[in-house]
Amino acid sequence: MLRVTHSCGFFSNCNIRLQEIIRYFNTNKKLPITVDSSEQYGWYKPDNNSDDITFDYFNNYDNIKTDIEWKDTIDYTELYQYSDYKTLNYESIIPFITKYFTPSLDIIDKVNILERKYNITNYENICVLFYRGNDKITETNICDYNQVVEKAEQILENNSDIKFLIQSDETEFIETMLERFPNSLCFKDEIRHMKKQTNTVDKVFKHLNPEYSKYYLAITLIMAKCNHIIFTSGNCSIWIMFFRGHADNVYQYLHDRWV
């Protein structure tokens, strides 16, 4: 059995869980029979109980018939959230995403609900503007809003039919982008955001975490399907990439520049 005990933000939990599964695989040249995450996702448990709530978000890995055979060491660590996503070895990592992080039926239902509610039908003409702000500034350099606007305008110049999907935990970012691109999509009822501060919505609105974390996972899946993505770097962004399976048409702000 593999026991994973890290408990923090949602995709931080996922990233450490993935890292430890791959580490086990590299060491033992086989997958663990059981992955115990009962000490993870503590922020998202309604009563701070000791249950393993992983399968509230992801299918039981026993039901996923993906067979991962040992061939060579898999190169992955959670610190790769701050790497150039074009350099990730998706071919070796994605089988682990499929096995352990295939979204549950409940999450897929939420994706369908959001697509209907916001009339999302053509992903080819959607560009994501994703900005993970607030306390993320304590971990890495984040671009200013104008840099995102400039990158978005470059895409708009090449395709006048592009529609932007705005997603952020910073109220000011959402307001700025909606003012500049007024016909954009924004999940107004299913996300939480707050004025810029060195904190996280998961701590400020902790009592809402069980419900909104599921919608956020659904929104992450939607972002992954969009044709273009402009975003900052971190756990949330790298998981968009894992659900996407590639880094085509991706514009990532990393170490003070776009890559």
What is the per-residue pLDDT for 67? Answer: 83
Burial group, residue 54, by CB count within 10 angstroms (0-12, 13-18, 19+): buried
Which amino acid belongs to residue 170? E
pLDDT tens by residue, 177-228: 999 999 999 999 999 999 999 999 999 999 999 999 999 999 999 999 999 9
Bridge-partner residues for 168, per DSSP? 131
Q: Output the six-digit token pair for 157.
A: 């110049």
- Write down the mean pLDDT value for the chain: 96
Q: b/e for 116-140, b at 16 or more Cβ within 10 A?
A: eebebeeeeebbbbbbbbbbbeeeb
Short-list 101, 85, 83, CA closest to 22: 101
**Cα 103 to Cα 108, 138, 163, 183, distances in angstroms:** 7, 30, 26, 30
The percent of residues above 70 in pLDDT, for the chain, comes to 100
The percent of residues above 90 in pLDDT, for the chain, comes to 93
pLDDT of 47 over the 90 cut: no
What is the per-residue pLDDT for 46? Answer: 84
Q: 107-258 — its CATH code?
A: 3.40.50.11350
- What is the reported pTM? 0.96
Give residue limits of the domains in the chain.
2-104, 107-258
Q: Which residue has the tokens 């580490």?
A: 23
What is d(CA 56, CA 68) in angstroms, rounded to the nearest whole number?
24
What is the per-residue pLDDT for 186? Answer: 97
What is the per-residue pLDDT for 146? Answer: 97
Give the count of alpha carbons within 13 A of 16, CB side only: 16
What is d(CA 258, CA 146) in angstroms, rounded to the nearest whole number?
13
Map residue 131 onto helix, strand or coil: strand
